Amino acid sequence: MISKNISRIGILTGGGDAPGLNAVIRAVVKVAIQEYGLSVVGFLNGFSGLINNQSRELKESDVIGILPRGGTILGTTNRDNPFHFPMEKNGNIEYVDVSDRIHKNLKDLRIDALIIVGGDGTLAIAKKLHDSGIKLIGVPKTIDNDIYSTDQTFGFDTALTTATEAIDKLHTTAESHHRVMVLEVMGRNAGWIALSAGIAGGADVILIPEIPYNIELVVEKITQRTKQDKQFSIVVVAEGAAPIHGSVTIQRLVKDSFEPVRLGGISNKIAGEIEAITGKETRVTILGHLQRGGSPTPYDRILATRYGAAAINFLMAGKLGHMVCLNGTEIKAIMLDKVVGGQRRIPLDLELLNTARQLGISLGQKKTVID
C-alpha cells in the first residue's frame, strides 16, 4: 500500500565519505520523481544542513553524471550531532539538544520524510530522530563493512579493490629489495578489509582486530619464509589490530565527532619490532583516506543504487524507522533499533579465516583450523 501522506522528502549523507554515496542520491532522486511523483530536497553537509537549514532542491538534472563519482555532491561531516550540539555560552562550550530546530526546519520546508545515509553513528542519530516523530529510512554506508544486520555495505568493495591494488604494487618492490612490507588498512574494530585484501593480494601475514596477535608468531612466519629462500614478506594489518594483552594504537582524539577515537599507527609499531628481531629491512605504507576515494566499483554502484531505490520503496510502503539491508542476495528492511548498538565483526568460525590458515597465511596466532 502506497503512502498518500508523503509528497516531499529530504536526503542527507552523514559520517565519513564512501564511494557509492552519489549512486544512492541518484537512485533516490530518480525513483522518487519518476515512480512516485515526489519532490526531493538535499540537505548539505550531513546533520549540519538539517540543523542550520541549509539545503537545495534536487531534480533529475542534478544527478546526471554522478553515478561514477566518488564522494557526495551534498557534502558530509562526522560532527554536528543534533542531540549533543556544541554551543558557546559565556565563553564556554556547552552541549545542548537542538533537535527541535530540525523539526521546525522540516516543517518550514514542507518535508514529510527523510532518507538518512550513513554509518553507525549517523544511524544512531537517525533512530533518535525517528523516536522523536520524524518519518525516515536509513541507508547503511561504510567502507569498513561493519554495520550490524547487513551482509555488505556499499563502499567496502571499492576500498577492498584499492587495498588489493596496493598489495600488488608492494609485492614488486618488496621482492626487488628483499624487504618486509607492512600495509595498514582501515576498518576500525573490524578486519574485513585487511582479511579480504590480504587474501586477494597474497599476503603472508594478516592481522585483524578480532584475533589479538603474537609478534613472535609474526616473526616466525617471516623467518620461515627466509629459510625457504623467500627473501620478502607482505604483512597486512588492520588499524584496529592489537597484540595479545595489549591495546589498540590511537592516533588522536577528535572532540564532537561521532567517532572521537581515531585509530592508526599500529603498522609502525609492528614494523619496528619485525626489523629489530629479524634484522630485515622493513617498510610501512598506511593507505589512510585513499581507501575512501575514487570512483566506486561496479559492484558498489549497483548495491548503492539498489539501496537508494529500496529506501524510497520502503518509505512509501510505510516501513518507517527501518534501515535497508542486504540479506543474501535480497534487499530487505530491518528496524533501526535492531541495528544501533551492534557491530558486524569477523566471526572466528568464518570460512575465509580457515582458508587463510590453510593457505599458510599467519594470523599472528597458533595455526588451528576450525572444522
Phi–psi pair at 181, nearest 5 degrees: -110, 125
Q: State which amino acid sits at residue 250.
A: I
Residues with Cβ within 8 Å of 127's Cβ and at least 6 positions away in sequence, in order, are 138, 321, 336, 337, 339, 340
Catalytic residue among 17, 80, 120, 144: 144
- Per the structure block, which three cell numbers stand in for 350? 568464518
Cβ count within 10 A of residue 264: 17
The candidate with the shortest Cα–Cα distance to 167, out of 112, 235, 232, is 235
The H or E element containing residue 262 is strand 261-263
According to DSSP, residue 154 is labeled: B
Residue 300 CA: distances (Å) to CA of 20, 28, 32, 339, 361: 6, 16, 21, 21, 28
The H or E element containing residue 286 is strand 282-286
- Per the structure block, which three cell numbers stand in for 329? 542476495
Place of cell 568460525: 349
User: Strands 233-238, 180-185: parallel, antiparallel or unpaired by DSSP?
Assistant: parallel
Place of cell 501522506: 5
Q: State which amino acid sits at residue 19.
A: P
- Known catalytic residue at 144: yes
- How far apart CA 199 and CA 215 sit, in angstroms, is 20
HSE value, Cβ hemisphere, 13 Å, CA-based, for 307? 34
| Residues 338, 342, 344, 349, CA torsion sign | negative
- How far apart CA 279 and CA 208 sit, in angstroms, is 24
The residues that are catalytic are: 144
